[in-house]
Structure 1
């Protein structure tokens, strides 16, 4: 029987197994769906289906730099325990290495690690470690110099927050200082400069500030100046080059870059689990889940 892409897709959805494993299973049983499910269960590869509905909001962010290209990858698991697991850390490091040669998460999932796709490697780890896992995000920067910073490091090049900063000119020491700023800044920089800021964010803020200024009842020309001043303050808070540099608050990050003979080309900040709605559980329940698989 011909093993079609549709058949492989159906088995993947039913089993939670990776694409290559689903294809192997169907090939082994001549396309019989029920027997293919049994084949996957026998190999321990269908257990991922039971885990796939569970929230994976923990894990690690890994950063890797090679030949002026930096990549940050977030790989999630269900509990903080797994982030301390040496096998999980090794897998995350391999995934970060694979990410250097691709441009997005979909391509990363299909990338090769020792003859297996990243997706299959993760599925195998789910079956072995017993938690839901996912490769959630990746981002890249490139420049003459790429600096990195890991906050709350669990192992070399990976932790809870990973930052990359790409420079034209400058040096690695300054790039790392800027990366530390990106990790620590409050509020977090939303873009490199005003030009890169989401127009919808700018329009929303301008409307709020305009409404606030008009409530003052002052003349229109004064209101216009109030709005300009408040928007300037807003840009200074949320754009990286305009923020006060945490290393030297007397200057902006952009000015510090000029003083260092550098231009900041881009940055990435990934934090484990940001944006994921995490179910609150007590510590005992987390331990029980980890021990029970």
Structure 2
């Protein structure tokens, strides 16, 4: 009798546990979607769903808060570790273009989608900052250091880039740094910006990425060439800037000074060594160069190419 009573008392409790299935079994699709949206491991996504009673939006918010908290904590542990790998990201929007550098410790992490997402967010933040500036009368250039870049937002009401950085550190487990950013802007009526990224993602991507990058501010010459010609000539000039690392602009009349020449317009043209870049542009037409920027990922301060006064 006592055993029968004990079994009867336990029955409701056993039925309760049998019907309370784990979140993984009850909603595998929600788990997979949460994993896809956050990029975090399955175990962490499952824990979030359990904590939030299966509510996917709440689980995602909890995961991001937790990743950010852990990221800031991990940032202190990895700060100071050498971070010279990474990517340069380029984004063009009409008469404006930005270039950013984001560093990490290893080439392996630089190829990670989460790291590349941070590069894209940094480029979007720099572009929003560029667009908010007053339109230039001519060509304008602006440089942003790491602390300025970290305080930008990816858009109105968006999170700070420093918060995105914390999330990335928490997920990747390496020292990751927002190194720097720069932009060029030209007048809409007769300006053109060429861009070239030497590396992994194609220039057709919203944010082109590579280990080298160049932006070249140009004036469109008359008669105005078709858009395809502007793109072709501009890309060749930007490719030359990446390959030849000029440090000054110079003038179209400059005479070359041999292999050590650092003035852009006087350098032997990378794709046609029998001509200087200035001669190539005079012969081809379409564009006249006004300014340029060049980043090499991991370079020491002061090494990046940027046009000096003539």
TM-score tier by shorter-chain length is 0.5 to 0.7
Name the structure 2 match of 1:121.
Answer: 164
Contact between 1:69 and 1:146, CA under 8 Å: does it hold in 2? yes
**Which structure has more helix as a fraction of its residues?**
1
Write the distance in 2 (CA, Å) between the matches of 1:42 and 1:110.
16
Structure 1 residue 115 displacement after superposition: 2.6
Write the distance in 2 (CA, Å) between the matches of 1:40 and 1:90.
19
| TM-score, normalised with respect to structure 1 | 0.62
Structure 1 residue 41 displacement after superposition: 10
Contact between 1:145 and 1:172, CA under 8 Å: does it hold in 2? no
Structure 1 residue 246 displacement after superposition: 1.5
Contact between 2:256 and 2:267, CA under 8 Å: does it hold in 1? no
Name the structure 2 match of 1:190.
Answer: 247
Name the structure 2 match of 1:73.
Answer: 100
Match of 2:294 among 258, 269, 280: 269
1:109 aligns with 2:136: no
1:253 aligns with 2:277: yes
What secondary structure, in the 3-state scheme, does the structure 2 residue paired with 1:116 have? coil
- CA deviations over 1:1-53 (Å, ceiling 9, x no partner): xxxxxxxxxxxxxxxxxxxxxxxxxxxxxxxxxxxxxx999931311100011
Structure 2's unaligned 5+ residue stretches are 1-64, 130-141, 222-229, 302-310
RMSD: 2.7
Write the distance in 2 (CA, Å) between the matches of 1:172 and 1:42.
41
Write the distance in 2 (CA, Å) between the matches of 1:127 and 1:138.
23
Q: How many residues align?
A: 201
Write the distance in 2 (CA, Å) between the matches of 1:162 and 1:232.
24
Structure 1 residue 56 displacement after superposition: 0.7
Larger Rg: 2
What secondary structure, in the 3-state scheme, does the structure 2 residue paired with 1:153 have? coil
- CA deviations over 1:213-271 (Å, ceiling 9, x no partner): xxxxxxxxxxxxxxxxxx96269711101101122222211122223132101111111
1:55 aligns with 2:86: no
Write the distance in 1 (CA, Å) between the matches of 2:185 and 2:158.
28
Write the distance in 2 (CA, Å) between the matches of 1:235 and 1:150.
24
Structure 1 residue 133 displacement after superposition: 0.9
What secondary structure, in the 3-state scheme, does the structure 1 residue paired with 2:179 have? strand
Match of 2:126 among 99, 105, 108: 99
Runs of 4+ in 1 over 6 A off after TM superposition: 39-42
| TM-score, normalised with respect to structure 2 | 0.59
Name the structure 2 match of 1:149.
Answer: 196
Structure 1 residue 172 displacement after superposition: 1.8
Structure 1's unaligned 5+ residue stretches are 1-38, 195-230, 277-293
